Structure 1
Amino acid sequence: MEKRIINPWQWQNERSYAQAVEVKNPEGTLYVSGQCAISADGISSNENMESQLILSLKNLEQVITQAGYDCSGIVRLNIYTTSTADLWPHFNIFQDWIAKHNITQATTLLEVKSLFETLAVELEATVVK
Protein backbone atom coordinates (compact mmCIF):
# COMPACT_ATOMS: atom_id res chain seq x y z
CA MET A 1 0.00 0.00 0.00
CA GLU A 2 1.11 3.51 -0.77
CA LYS A 3 -0.25 6.53 1.14
CA ARG A 4 0.12 10.15 0.11
CA ILE A 5 -0.84 13.00 2.45
CA ILE A 6 -2.18 16.17 0.84
CA ASN A 7 -1.91 19.33 2.98
CA PRO A 8 -1.95 22.63 1.07
CA TRP A 9 -1.54 24.40 4.43
CA GLN A 10 0.25 23.74 7.72
CA TRP A 11 -2.39 24.76 10.30
CA GLN A 12 -4.15 21.38 10.32
CA ASN A 13 -0.99 19.71 11.66
CA GLU A 14 -1.62 21.20 15.12
CA ARG A 15 -5.10 19.68 15.03
CA SER A 16 -3.83 16.17 14.27
CA TYR A 17 -5.32 15.53 10.85
CA ALA A 18 -4.69 15.87 7.11
CA GLN A 19 -6.75 17.62 4.45
CA ALA A 20 -6.70 14.49 2.28
CA VAL A 21 -5.15 11.02 2.20
CA GLU A 22 -4.65 9.15 -1.06
CA VAL A 23 -4.24 5.36 -0.93
CA LYS A 24 -2.89 3.34 -3.85
CA ASN A 25 -2.76 -0.44 -4.07
CA PRO A 26 -4.24 -1.33 -0.70
CA GLU A 27 -4.16 -4.97 0.35
CA GLY A 28 -7.45 -4.50 2.18
CA THR A 29 -9.85 -1.85 3.42
CA LEU A 30 -11.72 -2.02 6.73
CA TYR A 31 -14.81 0.13 7.30
CA VAL A 32 -15.35 0.39 11.05
CA SER A 33 -18.79 1.23 12.44
CA GLY A 34 -18.99 4.04 14.95
CA GLN A 35 -17.27 2.97 18.16
CA CYS A 36 -18.57 4.39 21.43
CA ALA A 37 -18.16 4.00 25.15
CA ILE A 38 -20.04 0.70 25.34
CA SER A 39 -18.78 -2.02 27.67
CA ALA A 40 -18.05 -5.57 26.53
CA ASP A 41 -21.43 -6.43 28.07
CA GLY A 42 -23.18 -3.95 25.74
CA ILE A 43 -23.90 -1.31 28.38
CA SER A 44 -23.70 2.33 27.26
CA SER A 45 -21.62 4.59 29.48
CA ASN A 46 -23.21 7.48 31.31
CA GLU A 47 -19.84 8.80 32.49
CA ASN A 48 -18.22 12.11 31.51
CA MET A 49 -16.78 12.99 28.09
CA GLU A 50 -13.20 12.16 29.11
CA SER A 51 -14.11 8.63 30.20
CA GLN A 52 -16.26 8.09 27.14
CA LEU A 53 -13.53 9.25 24.77
CA ILE A 54 -10.97 6.92 26.37
CA LEU A 55 -13.28 3.89 26.12
CA SER A 56 -14.32 4.79 22.56
CA LEU A 57 -10.66 4.87 21.48
CA LYS A 58 -10.02 1.57 23.27
CA ASN A 59 -12.99 -0.05 21.52
CA LEU A 60 -11.91 1.35 18.14
CA GLU A 61 -8.42 -0.05 18.63
CA GLN A 62 -9.80 -3.45 19.65
CA VAL A 63 -11.98 -3.77 16.54
CA ILE A 64 -9.14 -2.72 14.23
CA THR A 65 -6.64 -5.08 15.87
CA GLN A 66 -9.05 -8.03 15.96
CA ALA A 67 -9.66 -7.55 12.22
CA GLY A 68 -5.92 -7.94 11.60
CA TYR A 69 -5.25 -4.28 10.81
CA ASP A 70 -3.05 -1.67 12.48
CA CYS A 71 -4.28 1.65 13.83
CA SER A 72 -1.52 3.32 11.81
CA GLY A 73 -3.54 2.35 8.74
CA ILE A 74 -6.44 4.67 9.64
CA VAL A 75 -6.97 7.02 6.69
CA ARG A 76 -10.32 8.52 7.72
CA LEU A 77 -11.62 9.11 11.24
CA ASN A 78 -14.95 10.84 11.79
CA ILE A 79 -15.82 12.14 15.24
CA TYR A 80 -19.42 12.64 16.30
CA THR A 81 -20.15 14.32 19.62
CA THR A 82 -23.15 15.70 21.42
CA SER A 83 -21.01 18.60 22.68
CA THR A 84 -17.88 20.02 21.11
CA ALA A 85 -17.60 22.27 24.19
CA ASP A 86 -17.30 19.17 26.40
CA LEU A 87 -14.96 17.42 23.96
CA TRP A 88 -12.38 20.21 23.48
CA PRO A 89 -10.88 20.12 26.99
CA HIS A 90 -10.08 16.42 26.37
CA PHE A 91 -9.01 16.66 22.73
CA ASN A 92 -5.40 16.03 23.82
CA ILE A 93 -6.44 12.44 24.64
CA PHE A 94 -7.43 12.02 20.99
CA GLN A 95 -4.25 13.75 19.77
CA ASP A 96 -2.01 11.62 22.03
CA TRP A 97 -3.70 8.44 20.71
CA ILE A 98 -3.17 9.62 17.11
CA ALA A 99 0.51 10.34 17.82
CA LYS A 100 1.01 7.03 19.66
CA HIS A 101 -0.13 5.11 16.58
CA ASN A 102 1.60 7.41 14.05
CA ILE A 103 -1.70 8.11 12.28
CA THR A 104 -2.22 10.77 9.62
CA GLN A 105 -5.87 10.77 8.66
CA ALA A 106 -8.62 12.85 7.13
CA THR A 107 -11.05 13.84 9.86
CA THR A 108 -14.49 15.37 10.16
CA LEU A 109 -15.81 16.51 13.53
CA LEU A 110 -19.56 16.90 13.85
CA GLU A 111 -21.70 17.99 16.77
CA VAL A 112 -24.97 16.08 16.68
CA LYS A 113 -28.18 16.43 18.64
CA SER A 114 -27.89 12.99 20.20
CA LEU A 115 -26.19 9.61 19.98
CA PHE A 116 -27.40 6.19 21.10
CA GLU A 117 -28.72 6.11 24.68
CA THR A 118 -26.38 8.06 27.00
CA LEU A 119 -23.39 8.27 24.65
CA ALA A 120 -21.55 11.55 24.05
CA VAL A 121 -18.88 10.62 21.46
CA GLU A 122 -18.62 8.18 18.56
CA LEU A 123 -15.61 7.38 16.33
CA GLU A 124 -16.00 6.01 12.80
CA ALA A 125 -12.91 4.88 10.87
CA THR A 126 -11.68 3.66 7.51
CA VAL A 127 -8.48 1.59 7.77
CA VAL A 128 -6.23 0.24 5.00
CA LYS A 129 -3.33 -2.18 4.80
Structure 2
Amino acid sequence: MEKRIINPWEWQDIRSYVQAVEVKNVESTLYVSGQTAISADGISSNEDMETQLIETIKNLELVISQAGYDRSGIVRLNIYTTSTAELWPHFHILQDWIAKHDIKPTVTLLEVKSLFETLKVELEATAVK
Protein backbone atom coordinates (compact mmCIF):
# COMPACT_ATOMS: atom_id res chain seq x y z
CA MET A 1 0.00 0.00 0.00
CA GLU A 2 1.16 3.51 -0.79
CA LYS A 3 -0.12 6.62 0.99
CA ARG A 4 0.45 10.14 -0.26
CA ILE A 5 -0.42 13.10 1.95
CA ILE A 6 -1.65 16.27 0.26
CA ASN A 7 -1.25 19.46 2.33
CA PRO A 8 -1.22 22.73 0.38
CA TRP A 9 -0.64 24.55 3.71
CA GLU A 10 1.18 23.89 6.98
CA TRP A 11 -1.37 25.17 9.52
CA GLN A 12 -3.22 21.84 9.77
CA ASP A 13 -0.08 20.10 11.07
CA ILE A 14 -0.58 21.45 14.61
CA ARG A 15 -4.20 20.32 14.47
CA SER A 16 -3.30 16.65 13.91
CA TYR A 17 -4.82 16.08 10.51
CA VAL A 18 -4.13 16.32 6.80
CA GLN A 19 -6.10 17.87 3.95
CA ALA A 20 -6.17 14.73 1.80
CA VAL A 21 -4.77 11.22 1.66
CA GLU A 22 -4.33 9.33 -1.59
CA VAL A 23 -4.04 5.57 -1.14
CA LYS A 24 -2.85 3.22 -3.89
CA ASN A 25 -2.39 -0.54 -4.06
CA VAL A 26 -4.71 -1.17 -1.13
CA GLU A 27 -5.06 -4.75 0.07
CA SER A 28 -8.32 -3.99 1.88
CA THR A 29 -10.40 -1.21 3.42
CA LEU A 30 -12.18 -1.21 6.77
CA TYR A 31 -15.16 1.07 7.37
CA VAL A 32 -15.69 1.40 11.12
CA SER A 33 -19.04 2.44 12.57
CA GLY A 34 -19.02 5.30 15.01
CA GLN A 35 -17.43 4.11 18.24
CA THR A 36 -18.47 5.56 21.58
CA ALA A 37 -17.98 5.04 25.29
CA ILE A 38 -20.19 1.97 25.51
CA SER A 39 -18.99 -0.86 27.77
CA ALA A 40 -18.56 -4.47 26.64
CA ASP A 41 -21.94 -5.07 28.31
CA GLY A 42 -23.60 -2.46 26.07
CA ILE A 43 -24.00 0.18 28.77
CA SER A 44 -23.61 3.80 27.62
CA SER A 45 -21.27 5.89 29.75
CA ASN A 46 -22.61 8.82 31.70
CA GLU A 47 -19.11 9.99 32.64
CA ASP A 48 -17.52 13.32 31.71
CA MET A 49 -16.15 14.19 28.26
CA GLU A 50 -12.53 13.27 29.09
CA THR A 51 -13.47 9.81 30.38
CA GLN A 52 -15.78 9.19 27.42
CA LEU A 53 -13.12 10.26 24.92
CA ILE A 54 -10.57 7.85 26.41
CA GLU A 55 -13.07 4.98 26.37
CA THR A 56 -14.15 5.83 22.83
CA ILE A 57 -10.54 5.68 21.61
CA LYS A 58 -10.07 2.30 23.33
CA ASN A 59 -13.21 0.94 21.65
CA LEU A 60 -12.05 2.21 18.24
CA GLU A 61 -8.66 0.57 18.77
CA LEU A 62 -10.32 -2.72 19.72
CA VAL A 63 -12.46 -2.86 16.58
CA ILE A 64 -9.53 -1.95 14.32
CA SER A 65 -7.15 -4.47 15.90
CA GLN A 66 -9.72 -7.29 15.93
CA ALA A 67 -10.20 -6.69 12.20
CA GLY A 68 -6.45 -7.15 11.70
CA TYR A 69 -5.64 -3.52 10.88
CA ASP A 70 -3.08 -1.12 12.36
CA ARG A 71 -4.03 2.22 13.85
CA SER A 72 -1.55 3.84 11.46
CA GLY A 73 -3.81 2.69 8.62
CA ILE A 74 -6.57 5.11 9.63
CA VAL A 75 -7.04 7.55 6.74
CA ARG A 76 -10.39 9.10 7.70
CA LEU A 77 -11.63 10.10 11.15
CA ASN A 78 -15.02 11.71 11.72
CA ILE A 79 -15.55 13.19 15.17
CA TYR A 80 -19.06 13.84 16.45
CA THR A 81 -19.60 15.61 19.76
CA THR A 82 -22.51 17.08 21.63
CA SER A 83 -20.28 19.96 22.77
CA THR A 84 -17.12 21.24 21.11
CA ALA A 85 -16.68 23.51 24.14
CA GLU A 86 -16.50 20.43 26.39
CA LEU A 87 -14.28 18.53 23.94
CA TRP A 88 -11.60 21.23 23.36
CA PRO A 89 -9.94 21.03 26.80
CA HIS A 90 -9.43 17.28 26.21
CA PHE A 91 -8.70 17.34 22.48
CA HIS A 92 -4.99 16.86 23.23
CA ILE A 93 -5.83 13.27 24.24
CA LEU A 94 -6.93 12.54 20.69
CA GLN A 95 -4.00 14.51 19.23
CA ASP A 96 -1.50 12.61 21.39
CA TRP A 97 -3.04 9.29 20.32
CA ILE A 98 -2.85 10.32 16.65
CA ALA A 99 0.81 11.33 17.01
CA LYS A 100 1.77 8.24 19.05
CA HIS A 101 0.50 5.88 16.34
CA ASP A 102 1.65 7.98 13.36
CA ILE A 103 -1.89 8.34 12.11
CA LYS A 104 -2.30 10.84 9.27
CA PRO A 105 -6.07 11.11 8.94
CA THR A 106 -8.37 13.44 7.14
CA VAL A 107 -10.73 14.74 9.82
CA THR A 108 -14.21 16.15 10.03
CA LEU A 109 -15.45 17.49 13.37
CA LEU A 110 -19.16 18.03 13.86
CA GLU A 111 -21.13 19.26 16.85
CA VAL A 112 -24.46 17.48 16.94
CA LYS A 113 -27.58 18.03 18.99
CA SER A 114 -27.37 14.60 20.60
CA LEU A 115 -25.81 11.15 20.39
CA PHE A 116 -27.16 7.83 21.63
CA GLU A 117 -28.42 7.94 25.22
CA THR A 118 -25.88 9.75 27.45
CA LEU A 119 -22.94 9.76 25.02
CA LYS A 120 -20.92 12.92 24.31
CA VAL A 121 -18.37 11.89 21.66
CA GLU A 122 -18.25 9.42 18.76
CA LEU A 123 -15.37 8.47 16.43
CA GLU A 124 -16.01 7.00 12.99
CA ALA A 125 -13.02 5.78 10.98
CA THR A 126 -11.85 4.35 7.67
CA ALA A 127 -8.64 2.32 7.72
CA VAL A 128 -6.63 0.70 4.93
CA LYS A 129 -3.90 -1.89 4.59
**TM-score if structure 1 supplies the norm length?**
0.99
**Deviation at residue 93 of structure 1 after TM alignment:** 0.2
Segments of structure 2 that go 5 or more residues without pairing to the other structure are none
| 1:1-129 equivalences in 2 (<5 Å) | 1-129=1-129
**Deviation at residue 100 of structure 1 after TM alignment:** 1.1
Identical-residue share of aligned pairs (%): 81
Segments of structure 1 that go 5 or more residues without pairing to the other structure are none
**What amino acid is the match of 2:56?**
S
Structure 1 Cα separation of the partners of residues 67 and 127 of structure 2: 10
| Matched length | 129
**4+ residue segments displaced more than 4 Å:** none
CA-based RMSD: 0.3
Structure 2 Cα separation of the partners of residues 14 and 123 of structure 1: 20
**What amino acid is the match of 2:47?**
E
Secondary structure of residue in 2 paired with 1:31: strand
**TM-score if structure 2 supplies the norm length?**
0.99
